[in-house]
Amino acid sequence: MLYHRLPAIGIFVGGLIVWEGVVRAFDIKGFILPAPTAIAATFSAETADLLTAGAGTFSTALAGLLLGGALAVLMALAAARWRFVRDGALPFAIAANSTPIIVLAPIANSWFGLRSPFASIFVVAILVFFPVMINLVRGLLSVEASEVELMESYAAGRLTTLWKLQLPNATPYLFSALKVAAALSLIGAIVKEFFGGSQDRLGQYITTKAGLLQFEEAWAAIVLASIFGIVLYNVVVLIERRVIPWHVSVRNV
Amino acid sequence: MSALSLSGVGKVFNPGSDQEVRAVHGIDLEVGRGEFVSVIGPSGCGKSTLLRLIGDLTPPSAGTVSVNGKTPARARLDRDYGMVFQSATLLDWRKVAANVELPLEIMGMGEAERSRQAAAMLDLVQLGRFAGHYPWQLSGGMQQRVAIARALAFKPSILLMDEPFGALDEMTRERMQAELLRIRAETGTTVVFVTHSIPEAVFLSTRVVIMSSRPGTITEVVDIDLPEPRSYETREDRRFFDLLTKVREGLRAVEAS
Ligand SMILES: Nc1ncnc2c1ncn2[C@@H]1O[C@H](COP(=O)(O)OP(=O)(O)O)[C@@H](O)[C@H]1O
Ligand SMILES: [Mg+2]
């Protein structure tokens, strides 16, 4: 396991060393690109503020992800069960999924108020809703005709077929959507904060510090946001391994 | 009362359109309780369609099908059918035992009884040791045996099998045929078996139904009067070879027409 990680670790450490070396050798100014050591020093000096901001942003991102994900699951189940729901809702969902929904951020601020956490949760929820729903519907419907006939031969009802065939069939689709949604949720939360909101949030922290030309601080916040993103993604991956150990993407051959 | 009774059964797909297909036509067939009837014929002659008509997976366009004196729809709701398709159609996310339990679960059997029944069925197909494996960890032949165990788990009165051994190698195939006969002897199930192997049809059956295509209809029914129980020696019996020839000629007549 560790052996397979060595190349990635090598590239990571090597990248940091090259970054540090380039910044020092060419005397690059901090407002263009601070050195990793400078960012690390700022990180430890500003830990308390950063973690407060990070916790606020992360919790709204998580709340939005859970809300949007739950609504998407309900909607997808309805769309799989009733054809008219599918025919009515899916074209709009696909259309919405190809528009940059994040542009709703300033509008959400005016709807919910700048300081309301619901503005962030709303933006994140709507951002993750469409990809999760569309993927889940695809998974629910992409069952083999022979599997459906098998269920019919047992005189299984619609709900039984949904529960025992379609839903398990769709879980790999759900997880690949959730991995995308995990990243989207942090993007949504932070970009929404760029447009205003509570001061102790990562988005506001980054814009404020950048405005004050304190780029080490801004970079420290960017690093923290990245760490949150990576952690969230890996939590989804861990859950996926537990829930679908049978799937090709997970099984140990 | 016979297990199956078909009279004047026909099926037309996409009637009235330019893709109209007369898949089967004018089928009359009586199958008695405990009989093993094989259906053989050129590909596309409507064998699968015939099986699906019996199993209520598609409605007939003409004629009537009666199963244990009931409509196919009633028989399906009464869980009279066990079906085995050409591919095993196991659910990837269920381990072998859970796959066998699937129909029992749907039929509302309690957990303890379910797992006892699944274990017994897996022993029947000699896969008891693999109860905790996932389907992808099994070979094609083993997967097909799981599918058979699953079809037998709820003790259906009629087993409908569509080229179930088609994807297997010759050795596995002969072993599976022997197992199927043994299981049938133990359970007394009526079997309708689609195949395109002449030796397989003759070895397994009490009767072989030969079909022709366009439209798919029965041209000949050959009684297989081989001694029971069938065994390794059966395949070397003179009568076995005579019957092979008889079925082969029946098929040749069909393909020449
Ligand atoms: N669902 C369907 N729609 C249209 N045509 C079909 C359908 N199923 C089967 N057919 C046609 O009916 C004929 C008989 O098919 P099938 O019963 O599968 O033959 P066999 O199993 O003997 O190979 C074929 O011409 C096939 O193309
Ligand atoms: Mg067929």
Residues B100 and B119 in one domain: yes
Residues of chain A with Cβ-Cβ distance to B93 below 8 Å are 168-169, 171, 244, 246-247
Return the domain boundaries, chain A.
Answer: 48-243
Which residue's CA is minimally distant from atom 8 of ligand 1? Answer: B49
Distance between CA atoms of B71 and B175, rounded to whole angstroms? 35
Going by alpha carbons, the residue nearest to atom 2 of ligand 1 is B13
Q: Do B17 and B56 belong together in one domain?
A: yes
pLDDT confidence of residue B257: 63
Q: CB distance from A244 to chain B under 8 Å?
A: yes
Contacts of B251 (CB under 8 A, 6+ apart): B40, B41, B42, B198, B210
What is the pLDDT, as a whole number, of residue A121? 93
Cα nearest neighbour of B137 on chain A: A253
* Contact yes or no for A251 and B92 at CB 8 A: no
Strands of the sheet with B21-31, listed across from one edge: B21-31, B4-13, B62-67
What pLDDT is stored for residue B202 in this prediction? 96
* Arithmetic mean of pLDDT, A229-250: 91
Q: Are A102 and A191 in contact (CB under 8 A)?
A: yes
* B107 and B76 housed in the same domain: no
B76 and B161 share one domain: yes
Cα-based distances in Å from A216 to A31, A43, A110, A167: 8, 8, 31, 47
- The answer to whether the CB of B24 is under 6 A from ligand 1 is no
ipTM greater than 0.95:
no
Asked, for residue B116, whether it belongs to a domain, the answer is: yes
DSSP string, B41-62: -STTSSHHHHHHHHTTSS--SE
Give how far the C-alpha of residue B167 lies from the chain's centroid of Cα atoms, to the nearest Å: 15
Q: At what angle do helices A117-141 and A83-97 cross, to 10 degrees?
A: 120
B139 and B162 both lie in a single domain: no
Statement to judge: residues B192 and B215 lie in one domain: yes
- Ligand 1: atom nearest CA of B194 is 21
Instruction: State residue A97's pLDDT score.
Output: 86
Asked if B115 and B76 sit in the same domain, the reply is: no
Decide if A125 contacts A135 (C-beta within 8 A).
Answer: no
Specify whether B147 is located in the same domain as B39.
Answer: no
Q: Report which of A187, A190, A233 is spatially closest to residue A210, judged by C-alpha positions.
A: A190
When pLDDT is cut at 50, 70 and 90, the band that residue A181 belongs to is: very high
Cross-strand pairs, B37: B192, B207
In a domain, B85, yes or no: no
Residues of A in contact with B83 (CB under 8 A): 149-150, 153
Mention every residue, 6+ apart, whose C-beta is less than 8 A from residue B150.
B90, B99, B100, B102, B103, B121
Half-sphere exposure of A58 (CA within 13 A, CB side): 18
Q: DSSP assignment, residue B14? A: S
Q: The tokens 């197909």 sit on which residue? A: B125
- For residue range A49-107, what is the model confidence (pLDDT) as tens digits? 999 999 999 999 999 999 999 999 999 999 998 999 999 988 998 898 888 888 888 88
Residue recorded with tokens 């000949």:
B220
CB of B39 shorter than 6 A to ligand 1: no
Question: Distance between CA B114 and CA B1 in Å, rounded?
Answer: 31
Cα B254 to averaged position of ligand 2 atoms, centre (Å): 17
- Tokens 């099986």 sit on residue: B51
Cα(B205)–Cα(B39) distance, rounded to whole angstroms? 10
Question: What's at A34, amino acid-wise?
Answer: P
Domain closes at, from B155, B172, B201: B155
B73 and B174 housed in the same domain: yes
**For ligand 1, what atom is nearest to the CA of residue B52?**
17
**Nearest-CA residue for atom 12 of ligand 1:** B23
Q: What six digits make up the tokens of A195?
A: 């447009």
Quick count: other Cβ atoms within 10 Å of Cβ A70? Answer: 13
Tokens of A215: 């780029």
Total of domains in chain B = 2
Which strands, in side-by-side order, build the sheet including B207-212? B81-84, B158-162, B190-194, B36-40, B207-212, B217-223
Integer-rounded Cα Rg, in Å, for chain B is 18
Residue B180 belongs to domain spanning: 4-80+157-251
The CB of B21 under 6 Å from ligand 1? The reply is yes
Q: Is the CB of residue B32 less than 8 Å from the CB of residue B20? A: no
Q: Which residue, of B139, B155, B171, is where some domain finishes?
A: B155
Which of the following CATH numbers is that of domain A48-243: 3.50.50.60, 1.10.3720.10, 1.20.58.340, 3.40.50.170? 1.10.3720.10
Whole-angstrom distance, CA of residue B228 vs CA of residue A11: 72
pLDDT at A252 over 70: no
* Residue B228 and residue B116 in one domain: no
Same domain as B180, residue B237: yes
On whether both B98 and B39 belong to a single domain, the answer is no
The pLDDT tens digits for A115-159 are 888 999 999 999 999 999 999 999 999 999 999 999 999 999 999
Strands B207-212 and B217-223: antiparallel
Helix and strand numbers, DSSP H then E, in chain B: 8, 9
Q: What is the DSSP letter of A197?
A: -
Q: How many residues does chain B have?
A: 257
Nearest Cα of chain B lies from the Cα of A153 at a distance, in angstroms, of 6
Low-confidence ranges of chain B (pLDDT < 50): none
Which sign, positive or negative, has the C-alpha torsion B44, B50, B56, B62?
positive
Nearest CA to A173 out of A128, A132, A218 is that of A132
Contact A144 B76 (CB under 8 A): no
Does residue B117 lie within any of the structural domains?
yes
Helix pair angle (A47-81, A202-211), 10° resolution: 130
